[in-house]
Amino acid sequence: MRIHDRYKGYFFILPAFLLLVGILGFPAIAAILQSLNLMWVSKPSFTVSSYLRLSKDAEFLGSLINTIIFVSTTVSFHLILGLGIALLLNLEIKRRHFFRVIAILPWTMPDVIGGLIWKFIFDTLPGFVNGVLIRGGILAEPIDFLGTPLLAFSSFIFAEIWRGYPFVMLILLAGLQAIPRHQYEAGAIDGASTVQSFLYITIPNLKYMVIIAVILDTIWECRLFGMVYSMTGGGPGYASQVLSLLTYKHYFQFFNTSYAASIAIILAIFMLIISIPYLRITMRREV
Amino acid sequence: MKRKEELEMLKRTYWMILVLIMVFSLSLSGNSVMGQEVKISYSDWQLAQDIWGKSLREAIAEFERLNPGIKVETEPVALAQRDVKFTTAIRAGAGPDVFALDVNPVKQYIKEGWVKDVTPFIEKEGGQQWLSDFYPRTLMPVTEDNKVYGIPKNTVAMVIVYNSQLFKEAGIKSTPKNWKEFRDVCKKLTKATKPGGPVDQWGVAFVLAKACFDLRFSVVLRGFGGDFLTPDWKHSALNTPEAKEAFNYVVDLILKDKVMPPGVTQVDCNEARRLLAFKKTTMKIGTMWSITEVSGFNPDLHGWEVLEMFPIPQKEGVKSKIRSTLYQKSIFMNPNTKHPEAAWKLMKFLTDKKQMEKWFIDNNMLSCRKSVNDTYGPILQSKYASVVKREIENAAFLPLIPQWPECLEAFRVNLQAAIAKQKTPEKALMDAHNQIEEILSRK
């Protein structure tokens, strides 16, 4: 067998390419075909009715709004909390490695387990928060955190802020550690205060890391399912229902596979748009 | 020279991949190729539960003893994940050979071809004569276009389970017959058990979370003479005065009378059992299994002595006979099974007379076989079986249509919205009605 030099490289990357197509490409294509009622349905026939239905579905629109509120709030808090804690952990303090391990613990918890723990914490009868408040004489009756729409949604957001901030923190901590010390030293010689050093040295140096962290975190939060599924189930009513949960319900509970796939495609398009700046930054850096 | 080495390396890599693929393929089909023993799998959500799981495993061990050539691998699955696991696996050409389902998703499974038509096996056993021992009503969920897709196993009707000791302590001498009496009893039983303390005992807790909502809530609607859908299951029946009355009744029990514990919208069937087990509530909508489950949560309750049952209350003057809901568990065969004969043997075994008796002794469950319920001594002597058996006559299945899970969820979330005061009860019920109409018109 004689292979021309020009094509030899393609043969070497072929197994990896096939794996990528199989693992990443096939599910994506399958989801598109399913949303058009062409695959894994009892009677395949091309139709865009699932997409047309989306525009009229109040539950979908409600879930979309919930997703936007949820993602924007959690990502904002992740950034504030993540940056704050990353700055603290970047200080020259004793046992900082120990504190770093403690700080990333919430991130190590599977989101379903996190949801169950927070469900217990916010529960009415055996719940931790109500127990403390009632025993402390602050409340006479328990607050129904997960049965009141605004409180249920806020509790879910609070729980996810807690669980997800270490991801942003780790990225920003890595960014902070990469800032050359001499920039701060030069700033100090020029008489820069701590705030000025932060504003004119730290923030500009962290710019790309912040963008990457925000984009990756946004994508992650858009897909989040386990936490809301185990904590509120989207309730009460549709108060805390997000798109990932709606997709799950239509696919696995109602068996509306085409409709579920169309919701997933819309969510994927949204995430693709968000990831464009990330791709541009990473590709520019590689060049 | 270098090029030759590279080519050799390339060839070696492809050979390795080829060998790996062959080894992997062989390992997948190895069991049936290498040995005479047939291996099949059985999946059931009750395998994941202590009492049921033990009982099922004992039965399967007995099946293996009687059928030395067949080995059964049990696959427990969480109830909430059951349909996710089964449907994904079956679509992919895999899945357990034999599995259990309740009636809720059965019609969708039949429609999608996720269960095998077992009519040819039944014909070999004697056809209609073999089926005649099963209550005709229990064959309805597993039959479509004269084809039988599963074998009915257990059936029960929903009743009210109550703590007779707490009734006695509250001076309640008779159980409620209608919903007005039910409300009065609930009010009497809602109290602070410690003088001057906060309310810590409530009359009842309805299941309002997703898990097990269908069987429990439907009895209230039916007890008022209403239902979710019209008798032909083609339209919503939530715009009827009976449905409105039932809906408002439940919302009032929670918001005005406060006879249910706070946070009741998150109460699922396990939480309702736990509340009854620890005397936080005095009643629950349940059935035969409630006794074993509640007693399991708190053995100190002495559930088998303290817990009693009474039929579903019915509004005075309601003409409809139906006031309760039927539960049924049936056994199905995977269309992808490679061992249909062995799978059929297991299906037959799990639903035979002897095992049906075992399910009653171990799990307090009634059978879908008339001969077992009508002649088996322990069933005839059981104080619980007598109430539930009578209630079966007044019970009906929930709609056996593929759209049912979506209709039910539309109703449930609107009920939750009314309880959470997101919507008025009238608006919530009307929204549920309109959504169900839209769902039913879609397919």
All CATH 1.10.3720.10 domain ranges of chain A, comma separated, are 54-286
Quick check: helix, strand or coil at residue B203? strand
CB-CB under 8 Å, B402 with A144: no
pLDDT at residue B33 in the model: 45
Residues of B in contact with A124 (CB under 8 A): 261-263, 266
**Band (B285; pLDDT cuts 50, 70, 90):** very high
Please list the residues that pair with B154 across neighbouring strands: B329, B367
pLDDT at residue B30 in the model: 45
CA B344/CA B324 separation, integer angstroms: 32
CB-CB under 8 Å, B7 with A1: yes
**Is B393's pLDDT higher than 80?**
yes
Percentages of chain B per state (helix, strand, coil), in multiples of 5: 55, 15, 30
Model pLDDT for residues A123-181, shown as the tens digit of each residue: 987 789 999 998 888 888 889 999 999 999 999 999 999 999 999 999 999 999 999 99
CB-CB under 8 Å, A42 with B112: yes
Which of B88, B407, B416 is most worth mutating to test chain A (most A CB atoms within 10 A of its CB)?
A: B416
Structure token pair of residue B68: 């030395």
Q: Is A236 on the interface with B (CB under 8 A)?
A: yes
If you count DSSP H runs as helices and E runs as strands, how many of each does chain B have, helices first?
21, 12
- Pick from A1, A3, A146: which is nearest to B266 by CB? A146
DSSP A146: G
CA B306/CA A149 separation, integer angstroms: 38
Model pLDDT for residues A40-72, shown as the tens digit of each residue: 777 788 999 999 999 989 999 999 999 999 999
CB-CB under 8 Å, B263 with A123: yes
CA B188/CA B170 separation, integer angstroms: 7
Instruction: Residue B55: name the closest of B156, B133, B153, B198 by CA.
Output: B153
Put simply, whether the predicted model's pTM sits higher than 0.80 gets the answer yes
Identify the residue whose tokens are 């798109």. A243
> B364 and B292 in contact (C-beta within 8 Å)?
yes
Which of A12, A45, A254 is most worth mutating to test chain B (most B CB atoms within 10 A of its CB)?
A: A254
CA B372/CA B384 separation, integer angstroms: 16
Measured from the Cβ of residue A132, the count of other Cβ atoms closer than 10 Å reads 12
CA B109/CA B90 separation, integer angstroms: 10
Class of the CATH domain delimited by A54-286: mainly alpha
CA B424/CA B251 separation, integer angstroms: 10
pLDDT at residue A97 in the model: 85
Residues of A in contact with B402 (CB under 8 A): 255
Model pLDDT for residues B113-160, shown as the tens digit of each residue: 999 999 999 999 999 999 999 999 999 999 999 999 999 999 999 999
Indicate left, alpha or beta for A110 from its phi (over 0: left) and psi (-120 to 50: alpha): beta
In this complex, how many residue pairs, one in chain A and one in chain B, have their CB atoms less than 8 Å apart? 94
Model pLDDT for residues A217-244, shown as the tens digit of each residue: 999 999 999 999 999 999 899 999 999 9
Q: Which residues contact B133 (CB under 8 A, 6 or more apart)?
A: B353, B369, B370, B371
Identify the residue whose tokens are 């957001």. A157
Q: Is A42 on the interface with B (CB under 8 A)?
A: yes
Instruction: Please state, rounded to an integer, the average pLDDT across all residues of chain B.
Output: 92
- Pick from A11, A12, A236: which is nearest to B419 by CB? A236
Measured from the Cβ of residue B426, the count of other Cβ atoms closer than 10 Å reads 12
Domains of chain B in sequence order: 38-155+327-396 (3.40.190.10), 159-325+400-442 (3.40.190.10)
Cα-Cα-Cα-Cα dihedral sign, residues A76, A82, A85, A88: negative
Predicted complex ipTM exceeds 0.90: no
Q: Report, as an integer, the average pLDDT of B333-347.
A: 97
Which of B201, B264, B265, B419 is most worth mutating to test chain A (most A CB atoms within 10 A of its CB)?
A: B265
